[in-house]
Amino acid sequence: MQRRKFLRTAGVGGAVVAASTTVAAPAIAQSMPELRWRITSSFPKSLDTLFGGAEHFAKAIAEATDNRFQIRVFAAGEIVPGLQVADAIQNGTVEMGHTASYYYFGKDPAFAIGTAIPFGLNARQQDAWLTHGGGEQALNDFYKDFNIFGLAAGNTGAQMGGWFRKEIKTLDDMKGLKMRIGGFAGQVMSKIGVVPQQIAAGDIYPALEKGTIDAAEWVGPYDDQKLGFNKVAPFYNYPGWWEGSATLHVFTNLAKWNELPKSYQAIVRSAAAATNTWMTAKYDAASPKALRELVAGGTKLTPFPQPVMEACFNASNEVYAETSAKFPRFKKVFDGWKDFRREGVLWFRIAEAGFDNFMARQSAANRL
């Protein structure tokens, strides 16, 4: 009798468990709203790593949410021009943008720190500052004044110093040059006599070809080869001292970010972090082959003369002091960044540079 009662009770319990299981799945699904957002990139589709970063980011979010959170990616010019992405985020034209913070230097110089400033951090140091050095919080405290929430979502690594129509042998050769370079680096270049020009990616080649500008910087071999700069400017200088690394950000309209469920915010953070790693790795994998092909095709690979580097370093410090005195928001972010740079470079001098310099010597000796 007791055994039969137990079996009847167990049967009912099993039915309850089964029912609860069938109810649980749609209940969980219902807690994840279906969202259809747009993200506008600052880059053309032809630049498959820069534009591809936004695609990688959107795909990761769709996969993590079983396509309940879908973000459609638009290239520069399809919704707004590449240099107006931040404006589109601020005014709610789109929910998200994938861009370089320093494009908006004209709004406030503190925007430059989000991407890169001269003689700054390498890619690993930048990630360390953002993640564990208070950088992300400092930037978002600043971005909120512009109705923006930002997450790092890509890094080019150290960039090249650009393409020149004539060889740079002395500091005097820089004077009067019209160069595509903007933001903070443009101000530094002005100190040594360069005339900076802010030009979007798609307009650089024709300006260089026609002689409207004398030099241009973009990213590095992989992208520069795609853009064809080697066909109109033979001298390829290095290093890009104004971009020891360059962080891209996913900017989200602040109100839209705050409306996202916490689970979606966590997924967006994870997708941005994955894109950050993906982009640096892709550039590091693709640049060696592209550089070899450029040199084989006649590109003249040339280091900046040491006096030029020293003059630019000194000019950078002058601009930092002047900007800090005029712009309190810049000073607030910069002071913490500068302290982190001092310690970070000291550490890298010991381990990373010690190892890298030894390996560089082995490479120069054809021993690798």
pLDDT at 115 over 70: yes
CB burial readout 10-42, b (16+ within 10 A) else e: eeeeeeeeeeeeeeeeeeeeeeeeebebbbbbb
Which of 65-74, 96-105, 191-200, 322-331 has the weakest average pLDDT?
A: 191-200
Which of 200-214, 244-258, 307-321 has the weakest average pLDDT?
A: 200-214
183, 273 contact by CB (below 8 A): no
Distance of CA 29 to the CA centre of its chain: 33
- Read off the pLDDT band of 27 (50, 70, 90): very low
* pLDDT score for 244: 97
pLDDT at 55 over 50: yes
- pTM for this entry: 0.90
Over the stretch 134-176, which tens digit does the pLDDT of each residue have? 999 999 999 999 999 999 999 999 999 999 999 999 999 999 9
Task: Give, to the nearest 10 degrees, the angle between helix 123-132 and helix 135-143.
Answer: 70
* pLDDT score for 29: 53
The residue with tokens 């320093």 is 102
Angstrom CA distances, 75 to 54, 99, 127, 191, 222, stand at 9, 11, 26, 34, 19
3-state secondary structure of 367: coil
Please give the full DSSP string across 248-274, using - where no structure is assigned.
EEEEEEHHHHHHS-HHHHHHHHHHHHH
- Read off the pLDDT band of 188 (50, 70, 90): very high
pLDDT at 11 over 60: no
Q: Is the peptide bond before 221 cis (omega within 30 degrees of 0)?
A: no
**What does the angle CA 40 – CA 46 – CA 50 come to, to the nearest 5 degrees?**
55
Helices (H), the chain: 2-30, 50-64, 85-90, 110-113, 123-132, 135-143, 183-191, 201-210, 221-227, 254-259, 262-296, 306-326, 328-350, 352-364
* Domains of the chain, each with CATH number or no CATH: 29-157+245-284 (3.40.190.170)
* pLDDT score for 201: 80
281, 179 contact by CB (below 8 A): no
pLDDT at 349 over 60: yes
Over the stretch 270-290, which tens digit does the pLDDT of each residue have? 999 999 999 999 999 999 999
* pLDDT score for 5: 41
The residue with tokens 């972010």 is 333
Count the Cβ atoms, other than its own, within 10 Å of residue 246.
Answer: 24
Which of 11-25, 272-286, 322-336 has the weakest average pLDDT?
A: 11-25
Kindly give, in sequence order, each residue whose CB lies less than 8 Å from that of residue 328, ignoring residues fewer than 6 positions away.
none
53, 98 contact by CB (below 8 A): yes
Best CA proximity match to 70, nearest among 100, 33, 44: 33
Mean pLDDT of all residues belonging to the chain: 92
* pLDDT score for 14: 42
Q: What is the C-alpha separation between 145 and 110, in angstroms, rounded? A: 12
pLDDT at 22 over 70: no
- Read off the pLDDT band of 2 (50, 70, 90): very low
* pLDDT score for 30: 57
- What is the percent of the chain where pLDDT is above 70? 92
User: What average pLDDT does the segment 325-339 reach?
Assistant: 98
pLDDT at 23 over 50: no
- What is the percent of the chain where pLDDT is above 90? 89
Best CA proximity match to 247, nearest among 352, 61, 112: 112
54, 39 contact by CB (below 8 A): yes
- Read off the pLDDT band of 32 (50, 70, 90): confident
* pLDDT score for 4: 40
Q: What is the chain's Cα-based Rg?
A: 25
